[in-house]
Amino acid sequence: MHYSVQQVAEEWGVDAETVRRTFIDEDGVLILGDQERRDGKRAYLTIRIPESVLKRVYSEKTKRKFHGTRARLTRNSAAGKKDQHSDKTA
């Protein structure tokens, strides 16, 4: 399965441009369209991110495992678990 930039951006809670910059040079990502136009206008590219690349990059960026289906990315932390560093006294 392949995912669009917008799908990944929504799932990760980041801007679509952040996703584009993250994946544009990754091996395995499909880039459709001309990167440079001859008439000097903006090039429009369609980027599709394979699930395998999505999982790899997510794991590299977070050092956590990819869980779930359909690009559902969850963290391996328990809900409501306190941060060890949050109990510092002033």
Q: Does residue 81 lie within any of the structural domains?
A: no
Phi then psi dihedrals of residue 49, to 5 deg: -110, 115
Domain of 24 in residue numbering reads as 2-62
Q: Is the overall model pTM greater than 0.75, yes or no?
A: no
Say what the pLDDT of residue 28 is: 95
Q: What is the pLDDT of residues 47-73, one digit of tens each?
A: 999 999 999 998 888 876 655 544 454
Total domains in the chain come to: 1
Q: Does residue 33 lie within any of the structural domains?
A: yes
3-state secondary structure of 23: helix
Name 27's Cβ contacts closer than 8 Å, sequence gap at least 6: 53
Say what the pLDDT of residue 41 is: 77
Asked whether the predicted pLDDT for residue 44 surpasses 50, the reply is yes
Tell me which DSSP letter residue 51 carries: H
Q: What is the pLDDT of residues 8-17, one digit of tens each?
A: 999 999 999 9
Q: What is the pLDDT of residues 10-40, one digit of tens each?
A: 999 999 999 999 999 999 999 988 777 777 7
Using CA atoms, how far residue 86 sits from 43, 80, 82, 83, 90, in Å, is: 47, 13, 7, 5, 11
Q: Does residue 28 lie within any of the structural domains?
A: yes
Q: Does residue 79 lie within any of the structural domains?
A: no
Q: Does residue 41 lie within any of the structural domains?
A: yes
